Amino acid sequence: MNAKSKILSKLVKSRVLREAYIRSKVSVLLPSQIRSLRLRRGWTQGQLAEKADMKQARISTLEKIGESSFSIETLIRLAASFGAGLAVQFVPMSEMLDWENSFEPDSFNVPSIENDEAFCSPEGVRIATSTVDAPYRPFYPAIPAASGALFEVRECASNLTPISHASIDQFSVVEG
C-alpha cells in the first residue's frame, strides 16, 4: 500500500482525522482567498477593515494561514465588503481536494457585484424573500416577521422594487 492509499484509508476510517484534514484545508484556502481578493482590488488591510467594519489587526489575522477561526458572520461581512457572494456548502471530499489542487492565489478573482455580468444582466433576477415562523425567528432576524416581498433586481441591483408579496413557501430564487 503506497503512502497516498494509507492516508486515504485513515481518512475513511477516522472522523477526527477528517476534521483535521478539513480544518487544515479551510485554514489555508480562506486566508488565501481573502488576501487575493483584497490585493486584486488594490486595497490595504486598513481599507478592507474599514469596509468590513473590523480592525486592521483582525484582517491581518484573517489573512494568516492557520491563525484564525472563521465565523459565518465574519465571512458574510467580508463577502459583502468585496461585493461578492458567499457559498458555504457540504461537498464530497474529492471536490474539496480538487478545490485545493486547483486554487491559485495569483489568479484567483471574484468580480464585485458591479462587474458580475450574470447578476447585472438586463433580464434581471427576481429574488423572493419570505416570512419566518415564530420558532425560527431568533435564527433569521433579517427576514421580515409579518410579510415578505418579491423583489426584481435590475440595473445591477441599484433598484430593488417590490413587485408582489410572497408567502412562506416562496423563499427561493425565481428566474425571469
Digit-coded pLDDT (tens) for 110-152: 999 998 888 877 665 555 555 444 554 455 455 454 444 444 4
Span(s) in the chain for CATH 1.10.260.40 = 3-112
Enter the CATH code of domain 3-112: 1.10.260.40
The mean of the pLDDT values for the chain is 78
pTM of the model: 0.69
Q: In what order do the strands lie in the sheet with 159-166?
A: 159-166, 148-154, 125-128, 173-174
3-state secondary structure (DSSP) of residue 152:
strand
3-state secondary structure (DSSP) of residue 132:
coil
